Amino acid sequence: MKSINDLGDLKGKRVLIRCDFNVPLDGETITDDGRIKAALPTLKQLTEAGAKVVVMAHLGRPKGEVNPKYSLAPAAKRLGELIDAKVTLAGDVVGESAKGAVAGMAEGDIVMLENVRYEPAEESKVDAEREALAAKYAEFGDVFVSDGFGVVHRKQASVYDVAKLLPNAAGHLVAKEVEVLKKLTETPQRPYVVVLGGAKVADKLSVIDNLLKVADTLIIGGGMGYTFLKAKGYEVGTSLLDAEKIDTVTGYMKDAEAAGKGLLIPSDAVVSPSFPSGDGPFEKTTVASDSMPADQMGLDIGPETAKAYADAIMGAKTVFWNGPMGVFEVDDFAAGTKAVAQALADTDAFTVVGGGDSAAAVRQLGFPDDAFGHISTGGGASLEYLEGKTLPGLDVLEGN
């Protein structure tokens, strides 16, 4: 996989770059600009080299239709505030506005195409449709740089197909992500602890299967924890439950025991009569995991569990964390997630926060990015890499 340093002199050349600017918005206000900041090292190197930089990115799921709600205007505005370069947002993706904007570029300028997912062919399952759109993208560039790690697990026109049409390289962000994930899968310092949370077991089944082979201890929290508790025969009330996966989870617990691996599940939980909505404070009780009332819902790990998880993290040399421990967006149910984040920040271990909700959680809870070894920009991509899957957007770069 080439780096942008292998592309030679880029002065005056048009560099087509795929970024991931799928940032969370409150109206038109970006609430977490981490993904835009993560792209800056690559973008700055390109503009300072005198390249004409054409950015492809997406936001949300407009499903092939133009929808102002998903415009990249807030991302273009924020990028312009963060970088010493002229940033122009085209009014379309591959239409007359985009063509005109690219044609009028000077060296060091940035043109951001509108949301690539406005184009129906971007996410098409039909190869020929994606390839036709990719050919239009390729007209805007002399070389292609892949720097949107959050989408490299997708076979999409702006990620996969366009890379076949132009000389290509990985940007600094993608290169860093791959370096970190290789370390986690191939050469982790031990003890290696993996913390998995979030809503559904089904989303992480394959990664659990794979990580049981590499990790020394697997810690389970969040909504997926209740499926593990149910597999032990406990009452879980109205908590999130993936009933179809109970047998699979039972198998994982047996496999972990047979292999001498640690598999930690919650010993207590913070419960409430219903999912929180509106303003708090909310009614909540801490109960032992084997004593959950049938009419209550688990919304966070309890303090005993939080301490046990923090202790396991503090004893590790490598930690990967993906998925919050509870409904961290609500203060009353954020303590478990905060305890895990604090332990990651305090330990001397190499720590990786696996993107998505985990990255949002640490920032929302007030932790600086440099409190951790690495914060991934791609939750789904990170998990699929750790599962051992082939990621199309990386595979296509390896092939050049």
Is 190 assigned to a binding site?
no
In this structure, the answer to whether residues 158 and 212 fall within a common structural domain is no
Tally of domains in the chain:
2
Average pLDDT over residues 343-356: 92
In this structure, the answer to whether residues 199 and 124 fall within a common structural domain is no
- The boundaries of the domain holding residue 15 are 4-175
> Last residue of a domain, which of 152, 175, 198?
175
Whether 378 is catalytic: no
Average pLDDT over residues 331-350: 96
Q: What is the pLDDT of residues 141-196, one digit of tens each?
A: 999 999 999 999 999 999 999 999 999 999 999 999 999 999 998 889 999 999 99
The answer to whether 205 touches 179, Cβ cutoff 8 Å, is no
In this structure, the answer to whether residues 70 and 198 fall within a common structural domain is no
Whether 302 is catalytic: no
Please identify which residue in the block is written with the tokens 């913390």: 195
> Last residue of a domain, which of 120, 146, 175?
175
With a cut of 80, say whether residue 304 has pLDDT above it. yes
Is 338 assigned to a binding site?
no
Whether 284 is catalytic: no
> Of the residues 50, 261, 380, 389, which is catalytic?
380
In this structure, the answer to whether residues 226 and 306 fall within a common structural domain is yes
> Of the residues 37, 200, 232, 261, which is catalytic?
200
In this structure, the answer to whether residues 23 and 167 fall within a common structural domain is yes
In this structure, the answer to whether residues 70 and 13 fall within a common structural domain is yes
Q: Indicate whether this model's pTM tops 0.85.
A: yes
In this structure, the answer to whether residues 314 and 368 fall within a common structural domain is yes
In this structure, the answer to whether residues 125 and 258 fall within a common structural domain is no
In this structure, the answer to whether residues 125 and 193 fall within a common structural domain is no
In this structure, the answer to whether residues 207 and 299 fall within a common structural domain is yes
In this structure, the answer to whether residues 256 and 318 fall within a common structural domain is yes
Whether 380 is catalytic: yes
Task: Give the C-alpha separation, 78 to 80, whole Å.
Answer: 5
Task: Give the C-alpha separation, 79 to 294, whole Å.
Answer: 49
> Last residue of a domain, which of 148, 175, 202?
175
Q: What is the CATH number of the domain that holds 167?
A: 3.40.50.1260
What confidence tier does 387 reach under pLDDT thresholds 50, 70, 90? confident
Is 204 assigned to a binding site?
yes
Is 298 assigned to a binding site?
yes
Q: What is the pairing mode between strands 52-56 and 217-220?
A: unpaired
With a cut of 60, say whether residue 400 has pLDDT above it. no
In this structure, the answer to whether residues 34 and 128 fall within a common structural domain is yes
